[in-house]
């Protein structure tokens, strides 16, 4: 049985020319590899880490499955459809928000998930504000979002709501759905579409963490013959030709961090905007407007996350809490997914959505997250089995700056100015946000490579 994980440091010979190279072994890179390889193409994934999966990796500690912060699969999102296409099987439950609460001005209120609760809640002070929320929710599914790409979510909120409570409530929904604090830097179209997806189908927490998705995608790719190069970063790519004759073909020469050079006819970069920019900024053929856009996008949405495993649940009446006046989130993921070996463990994920315009203050951020736990789960400190604090984690690379009064579109998958070079990830293409965008852009590029004449359709559940 051949070992398809190739460590270049072992000086094992590899075929220098392949059909498709994918730089980055996260969800997007693995998904693209599966689509392309199952249609007969030779594919190699190059991953700088010793493990695949990127931010979707799950670690096992003290019998608990720790995702890197809270992960949720949108039941009606593009990601769930694409996973089904690829026969990736996962278990878990949809989140039931009956025991979720909203924090506002040091008080907690039951999350108003029903019409009667919206009308009765003291979270929204005035009757007019409640009516604004009800009208918003009724119109949401029929809302035409095409004209909202070039205005910020904050600008749309200011224009759409007269009542401050209703505005803050919808802003909170956007923050939770997009993992983004800075509403002034996010397009209204993306934010509202993400709220719509969340409200329509809800979210699923996955048994044993998102590593189950990573492992299955990796296994399918291996069975399809995908080769894996790991532990080496790509620090340079350039165009070249395979010969000097009339039928010469364009190749991309890739230089790895140990100065090994390998060549491929098609290259997909499945990393972040900063890395893509560093690889392409000196390439005179790449469209300069595209490079300028990349450079300005290099401000991802970040969160501070506190992941806590407990020996028991202090307050069984509260499964989660969201901050309306503060950018905080808390959810009992283990209530809806098996996240411990015995299936009985208690695992909370808490996050603070970070403001990109202010300096980090990890000590203060951790105190705020602990304070939210104190409010809704008093006594939790005595029941801690393990906790992990990640003070500055990238939640999404889709963070679009407001440039001279308008929002910019996310970049397309094809790098303009050159041939056979593509980008994919949670910041690429027109569809979805977060992991949904990673899956969608991966499929779109795969279909593009497989057939220039084939119509790319990522919504019909078919190849």
Residues forming CATH 3.50.50.60 domain(s) in the chain = 5-55+212-298+402-450
Q: How far apart are CA 340 and CA 386, in angstroms?
A: 12
Q: How far apart are CA 32 and CA 448, in angstroms?
A: 11
Cβ atoms 52, 26 nearer than 8 A: yes
216: alpha, beta or left? (left if phi > 0; alpha if psi -120 to 50): alpha
Helix, coil or strand: residue 198: helix
- Is the pTM here over 0.85, yes or no? yes
Q: In 3D, which of 153, 219, 168, 216 has the Cα closest to residue 433?
A: 153
- Which numeric CATH code is attached to 126-200? 1.10.405.10
Q: How far apart are CA 47 and CA 26, in angstroms?
A: 8
256: alpha, beta or left? (left if phi > 0; alpha if psi -120 to 50): beta
| Cα of 207 vs its chain's centroid, Å | 18
Provide the strand spans (E) within 91-166: 92-94, 100-104, 107-110
Q: Please give the structure tokens belonging to residue 98.
A: 């009956």
Helix, coil or strand: residue 23: strand
* Helix 127-140 / helix 188-201 crossing angle, nearest 10 deg: 90
Q: In 3D, which of 182, 177, 153, 147 has the Cα closest to residue 167?
A: 153
The dihedrals phi and psi of 370, each to the nearest 5 degrees, come to: -65, -35
Residues forming CATH 1.10.405.10 domain(s) in the chain = 126-200
Q: How many other CB atoms are there within 10 angstroms of residue 19's CB atom?
A: 15
Q: How far apart are CA 404 and CA 262, in angstroms?
A: 42
Q: How far apart are CA 412 and CA 422, in angstroms?
A: 9
Cβ neighbours of residue 182 closer than 8 Å, sequence gap 6 or more: 301, 355, 356, 357, 399
β-bridge partners, 387: 308
Q: What is the full per-residue pLDDT of the chain (463 aa) written as tens digits?
A: 333 444 444 344 444 447 999 999 999 999 999 999 998 899 999 999 999 999 999 999 999 999 999 999 999 999 999 999 999 999 999 999 999 999 999 899 999 989 999 999 999 988 999 999 999 999 998 898 988 888 999 999 999 999 999 999 999 999 999 999 999 988 999 999 999 999 999 999 999 999 999 999 999 999 999 999 989 999 999 988 766 655 667 889 999 988 898 999 999 999 999 999 999 999 999 999 999 888 877 678 999 999 999 999 999 999 999 999 999 999 999 999 999 999 999 999 999 999 988 999 999 999 999 999 999 999 999 999 999 999 999 999 876 655 544 456 789 999 999 999 999 999 999 888 999 999 999 999 999 999 753 434 444 334 4
Cβ neighbours of residue 439 closer than 8 Å, sequence gap 6 or more: 27, 28, 31, 78, 79, 82, 83, 432
Helix, coil or strand: residue 423: strand
Q: What angle do CA 412, 417, 418 make, to 5 degrees?
A: 95
CATH 3.50.50.60 correct for 5-55+212-298+402-450: yes
Residues forming CATH 3.90.660.10 domain(s) in the chain = 58-95+204-209+301-396
Binning the chain into helix, strand and coil, the percentages to the nearest 5 are 35, 25, 40
pLDDT of residue 177: 96
- Which CATH topology does 58-95+204-209+301-396 take? Polyamine Oxidase; Chain A, domain 2 (3.90.660)
């Amino acid at each position: 049985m051949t070992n398809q994980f190739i460590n270049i440091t072992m000086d094992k010979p590899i075929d220098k020319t392949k059909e498709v190279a994918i730089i980055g072994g996260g969800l997007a890179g693995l998904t693209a590899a599966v689509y392309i390889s199952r249609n007969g193409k030779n594919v190699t994934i190059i991953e700088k880490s010793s493990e695949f999966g990127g931010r979707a990796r799950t670690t096992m500690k003290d019998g608990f499955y720790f995702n890197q912060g809270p992960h949720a699969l949108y039941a009606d999102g593009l990601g769930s459809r694409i996973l089904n296409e690829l026969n990736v099987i996962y278990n878990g439950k949809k989140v039931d928000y009956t025991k979720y609460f909203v924090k506002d001005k040091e008080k907690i209120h039951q999350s108003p998930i029903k019409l009667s609760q919206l009308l009765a809640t003291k979270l929204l002070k005035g009757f007019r504000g409640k009516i604004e929320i009800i009208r918003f929710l009724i119109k949401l599914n029929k809302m035409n979002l095409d004209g909202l790409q070039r205005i910020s979510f904050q600008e749309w909120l200011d224009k759409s709501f007269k009542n401050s409570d209703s505005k803050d409530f919808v802003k909170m929904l956007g923050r939770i759905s997009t993992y983004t604090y800075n509403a002034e830097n996010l397009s209204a179209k993306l934010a509202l579409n993400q709220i719509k997806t969340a409200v329509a189908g809800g979210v699923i927490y996955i048994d044993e963490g998102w590593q189950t998705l990573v492992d299955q995608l990796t296994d399918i790719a291996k069975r399809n013959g995908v080769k894996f190069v790991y532990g080496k970063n790509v620090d340079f790519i350039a165009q070249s030709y395979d010969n000097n004759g009339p039928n010469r073909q364009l190749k991309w020469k890739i230089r790895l961090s140990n100065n090994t050079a390998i060549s491929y006819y098609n290259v997909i970069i499945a990393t972040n905007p900063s890395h893509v920019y560093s690889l392409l900024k000196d390439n005179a053929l790449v469209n300069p407007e595209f490079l300028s856009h990349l450079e300005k996008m290099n401000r991802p949405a970040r969160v501070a996350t506190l992941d806590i495993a407990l020996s028991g649940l202090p307050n069984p009446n509260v499964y989660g809490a969201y901050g309306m006046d503060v950018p905080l989130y808390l959810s009992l993921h283990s209530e809806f997914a098996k996240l411990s070996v015995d299936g009985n463990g208690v695992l909370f994920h808490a996050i603070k959505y970070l403001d990109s315009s202010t300096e980090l203050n990890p000590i203060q951020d951790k105190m705020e997250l602990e304070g939210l736990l104190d409010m809704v789960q008093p006594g939790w400190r005595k029941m801690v089995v393990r906790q992990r604090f990640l003070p500055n984690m990238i939640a999404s690379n889709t963070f679009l700056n407001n440039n001279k009064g308008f929002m910019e579109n996310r970049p397309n998958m094809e790098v303009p100015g050159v041939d056979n070079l593509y980008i994919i990830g949670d910041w690429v293409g027109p569809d979805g946000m977060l992991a949904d965008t990673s899956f969608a852009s991966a499929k779109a590029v795969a279909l593009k490579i497989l057939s220039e004449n084939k119509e790319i359709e990522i919504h019909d559940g078919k190849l």
